[in-house]
Amino acid sequence: MDDMNESERGGVGRILTESGFRIKKHLGQNFLTDKNILDKIVKAAGITPQTGVIEVGPGLGSLTIPLAAAAKTVLAYEIDAELMPILAETLKSSPNVILLNRDILKADIDQDVRTLLKDCTEIVVAANLPYYITTPILMRFLETSKSVSRLVLMMQGEVAMRVSSEPDTKDYNALTVAIRYRASVKHLFKVPRTVFVPQPNVDSAVVMVSVDPKPVCPAKDEAFFFEMVHRCFSQRRKTILNNIRDAYTEKTRDEWSAILREVGIDPSCRAETLSVADFVRLSDRLTMNGVER
């Protein structure tokens, strides 16, 4: 258990010592030890006694316990089967926790919500994410789950900056646009690496993702929209004109310039300066005229 100081690490240290559990770094197991930060996450999530909470990766249960104290029900997905008996013991005084030994990326979340959280008035996701799959988890909730109203997520500081960034900043990229298409994101607070066991190599941050029930600015063909956005950012330093020409080669430079101007985009600008609405106008214009995929 590397350089852990028992008094600082509190319950996490005791559970690890007593259970003999060996931490699996490849599953992103960095356990949170600071009670103030756990309480801040629960408070930020705005949980009421009617709320159903989905937790990704309960680990040793440090966040699960305060979530369960505030919520109606907590539905916790943990991929590591070896944590199941430890969690059953840690959570024995939290009868409103439903533990599923399942990969969150393969779970049918909407179906689970319908059957297991049916008495809850709203669904909130709260998690200290396994960092190796931060983006797929976020996109899975935004693209496939229709039931979640907001997500309070701990992630790497650098990814938190990216997902909460504004157009025309260095952090703004295709992921930011994909998230902003369905949600608004707020950077809440930073978390130092020293409050985890084992310590990760980077500091973390907690963000609030508020999901729009429907996209504010919907694209006619969403699959094309997401793919086009990725292509527009494929070479960050190139202009939007050059990126779009490289992506869809069947038109001349002049034809592409005319199309971009027609939808109100300056052909000499870069993708990082464009808003979600700009990308949606371009995507709708291209799908209307049947650009090759």
The answer to whether residues 67 and 126 touch, using CB atoms and an 8 Å cutoff, is yes
Closest separation in Å from C-beta 54 to ligand SAM: 11
- Is the peptide bond preceding residue 95 cis, with omega within 30 degrees of 0? no
Is residue 27 near ligand SAM by the rule CB under 6 A? yes
Only one of the segments 54-62, 65-73, 91-99, 249-257 lies at the binding site for ligand SAM (rule: CB under 6 A); that segment is 54-62
Can residue 56 be called a binding residue for ligand SAM (CB under 6 A)? Answer: yes
3-state secondary structure of 24: coil
Residue 32 or 208 with smaller CB distance to ligand SAM? 32
* Residue whose token pair is 């094309």: 224
Q: How far is CA 42 from CA 66, 177, 219, 226, 267, in A?
A: 7, 27, 34, 32, 45
141 lies in the binding site for ligand SAM (CB under 6 A): no
Q: How far apart are CA 125 and CA 135, in angstroms?
A: 15
Which region holds residue 7: left if phi is over 0, alpha if psi is between -120 and 50, else beta?
alpha
Residue from 58, 71, 156, 195 touching ligand SAM (CB under 6 A): that is 58
Contact 203, 193 (CB under 8 A): yes
The least CB distance from residue 112 to ligand SAM, in Å, is 13
Give residue 255's Cα distance to chain centre.
38
Q: Is 103 in the site for ligand SAM (CB under 6 A)?
A: yes
User: Are the CB atoms for 191 and 203 separated by under 8 Å?
Assistant: yes
Under rule CB under 6 A, residue 57 binds ligand SAM: yes
105 binds ligand SAM (CB under 6 A): yes
Write down the least CB distance from residue 14 to ligand SAM, Å: 14
Q: Closer CB to ligand SAM, residue 29 or residue 145?
A: 29
Distance CA 181, CA 234 (A): 19
Is there binding between residue 112 and ligand SAM (CB under 6 A)? no
We find the least distance from the C-beta atom of residue 27 to ligand SAM, in angstroms, to be 4
H or E element that contains 11 = helix 6-19
Residues within window 67-86 making contact with ligand SAM, judged by CB under 6 A: 77-80
Least distance CB 134 / ligand SAM (angstroms)? 10
Asked if 66 is part of the footprint of ligand SAM (rule: CB under 6 A), the reply reads no
Q: Which of 51, 73, 90, 128 binds ligand SAM (CB under 6 A)?
A: 128
State the residues that interact with ligand SAM by CB under 6 A.
27-32, 56-60, 62-63, 77-80, 103-105, 128, 130, 133
